[in-house]
């Protein structure tokens, strides 16, 4: 009887997820019919949201009620914030002020940090960074990250890690909505891009914003947190954001090419030994279908983040001794 009750609760939560996702899709359709949309480019990549991954690839797993109870309520709250990011677009001001003062941009950065943002950067969104068959309202992006605490990531895979993953999804969802509202109150248009179910390839966008570089696992590696962060964005009509013009972290790519620890440790065998090179020169680092299975069935997996050398060693130490740490015969 207890087992049946637990399974029923799991089904109810799943039904809630489906209902919220459907309402989000309806909002997206409404926006696309009533706004000017910047759609994905010819070389755009396919993408699945986290809820879609869990329902598509985790449906046959027998998660314990403890796992469902730990993660699902936070995911539902997160999805409500995703829904808000689309529904709030109708509150954009009618005027089209596109230039912000340096003082306002400074205040914007300070406001974002006061909300709990770990890092912030600015980038133009190339259409090829937008997932296939999706779109955004503005191509000026404010990119924000939130740290996932090392003490929980080092327990991956498991419930504590899963809770931390979804804590940051929820936290960033709340933050980007607040920043979007802040922009609107100051006369600018905005669309919140939540960490969960985003329409843009966030690691590439964050790399373009100069916040770090992408490793072999396809994740952003930053100087302060290694691969241990989630990413979100706010798209705005402000045209004079201080867009990044250089990235001093690109040495990470050379390091990762010699390391490959994440490839060896991935439980889904999802990380390519040699990334797929596309006609436009872009790279695909992982088979997301293979990645999705352990992600869906082990509360967010996160093993590649846990095992990454940049999670285990200090960024400056790796930069100083990169020739030592990247040798395959060394214990990394």
Higher pLDDT, 199 or 274: 199
3-class state of residue 122 by DSSP: strand
Q: How high is the pLDDT of residue 55? A: 67
3-class state of residue 274 by DSSP: strand
* pLDDT surpassing 50 at residue 329: no
Rounded CA gap, 290 and 269, in Å? 7
Q: With left for phi above 0 and alpha for psi between -120 and 50, is residue 271 left, alpha or beta?
A: beta
3-class state of residue 278 by DSSP: coil
**Which tens digit of pLDDT belongs to each residue from 212-270?**
999 999 999 999 999 999 999 999 999 999 999 999 999 999 999 999 999 999 999 99
Which one, of 258, 278, 97, lies nearest residue 204 by Cα?
278
Place of tokens 């929820």: 170
102: how many CB neighbours lie within 10 A of its CB?
9
Lowest pLDDT segment from 51-55, 124-128, 163-167, 315-319 = 51-55
CB 211 within 8 A of CB 118: no
Q: How high is the pLDDT of residue 143? A: 98
Which one, of 288, 285, 63, 51, lies nearest residue 157 by Cα?
63
Rounded CA gap, 194 and 32, in Å? 18
* pLDDT surpassing 60 at residue 9: no
Q: How high is the pLDDT of residue 125? A: 98
**Which tens digit of pLDDT belongs to each residue from 190-210?**
999 999 989 999 999 999 999
CB 310 within 8 A of CB 252: yes
48 phi and psi angles, rounded to 5 deg: -120, 140
pTM of the model: 0.92
DSSP class of 186: T
Q: How high is the pLDDT of residue 298? A: 84
**Which tens digit of pLDDT belongs to each residue from 95-154?**
999 999 999 999 999 999 999 999 999 999 999 999 999 999 999 999 999 999 999 999
110 phi and psi angles, rounded to 5 deg: -65, -40
Higher pLDDT, 113 or 3: 113
**Which tens digit of pLDDT belongs to each residue from 37-70?**
999 999 898 887 766 776 677 655 556 657 767 7
Q: Residue 144 pairs with which residues in a beta bridge?
A: 120, 232
Q: Residue 313 pairs with which residues in a beta bridge?
A: none
């Amino acid at each position: 009887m207890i087992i049946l009750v637990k399974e029923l609760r799991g089904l109810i939560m799943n039904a809630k997820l489906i209902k919220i996702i459907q309402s989000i899709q309806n909002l997206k359709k409404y926006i696309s019919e009533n706004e000017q949309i910047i759609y994905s480019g010819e070389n755009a990549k396919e993408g699945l949201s986290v809820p879609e991954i869990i329902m598509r690839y985790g449906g046959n797993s027998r998660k314990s009620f403890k796992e469902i109870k730990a993660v699902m309520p936070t995911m539902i709250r997160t999805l409500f914030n995703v829904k808000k990011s689309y529904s709030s677009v109708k509150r954009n001001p009618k005027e089209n002020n596109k230039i912000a003062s340096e003082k306002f941009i400074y205040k914007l950065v300070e406001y974002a940090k006061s909300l709990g943002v770990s890092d912030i950067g600015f980038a133009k969104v190339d259409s090829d960074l937008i997932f296939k068959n999706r779109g955004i309202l503005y191509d000026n992006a404010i990119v924000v990250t939130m740290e996932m605490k090392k003490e929980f990531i080092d327990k991956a895979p498991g419930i504590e890690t899963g809770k931390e993953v979804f804590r940051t999804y929820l936290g960033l969802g709340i933050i980007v909505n607040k920043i979007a509202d802040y922009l609107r109150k100051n006369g600018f248009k905005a669309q919140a891009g939540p960490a969960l179910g985003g329409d843009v390839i966030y690691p590439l966008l964050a790399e373009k914003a100069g916040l770090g570089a992408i490793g072999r696992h396809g994740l952003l590696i930053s100087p302060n947190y290694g691969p241990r962060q989630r990413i979100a964005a706010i798209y705005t009509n402000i045209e004079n954001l201080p867009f990044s013009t250089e990235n001093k972290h690109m040495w990470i790519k050379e390091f990762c090419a010699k390391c490959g620890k994440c490839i060896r440790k991935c439980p889904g065998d999802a990380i390519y030994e040699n990334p797929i090179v596309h006609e436009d020169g872009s790279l695909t680092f992982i088979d997301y279908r293979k990645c999705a299975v352990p992600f869906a069935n082990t509360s967010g997996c996160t093993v590649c983040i846990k095992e990454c050398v940049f999670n285990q060693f200090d960024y400056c130490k790796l930069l100083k001794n990169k020739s030592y740490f990247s040798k395959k015969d060394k214990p990394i």
